[in-house]
Amino acid sequence: MTTYPEAVDDFLAQRRIAVAGVSRSGDQPANMIFRKLRDAGYEVFAVNPQADQVEGGPCYESLAAVPVPLDGVVAVTPREGTDEVVRQCAELKIPRLWMHRSFGPGSVSEPAVEAGRRDGITVLAGGCPMMFVHPDPAHRCMRWVLGMMGKLPAPRA
């Protein structure tokens, strides 16, 4: 089993990452994650079945609509929608999925985590890429607090 720091390092070593759950309004955590990854040099793709454009670029209705193979996906969807993200990752053989969670339940769904594991996907259940990619003071503090609470992303593969 991969350990937490190894799984985070592996996920963030990839270059093509989709963020599922971006919003047209631009003020949601998914949009902040999208911008952070884009600004850090990742090739990042917005996914939302209800939007054609977000953050000044194209938005795709599904992971299958993204025009290139993906290395990983960050799910910032309601928990009820995470099952569909896992299904799409499995269908497309996307090997890494990070389910966003801060202090509440976030996108982490235990049935979705288990489904991803069964399908051979490395699932990071909790936390946020913003705690690791050039973190601002708030996300650095959040990383420390979640670490003290034992709630940093737990990889499951």
Delimit the domains of the chain by residue range.
Answer: 4-156
Its CATH class, for the domain covering 4-156, is alpha beta
pLDDT at 120: 95
pTM of the model: 0.91
Asked if residue 156 has pLDDT above 70, the reply is: no
- DSSP letter (8 states) at residue 59: E
Work out the percent of the chain whose per-residue pLDDT is above 70. Answer: 94
The C-alpha angle 81, 8, 1, rounded to 5 degrees, equals 90
CB 19 within 8 A of CB 34: yes
Residue 1 has pLDDT above 80, yes or no: no
Q: Which residues contact 81 (CB under 8 A, 6 or more apart)?
A: 20, 21, 75, 107
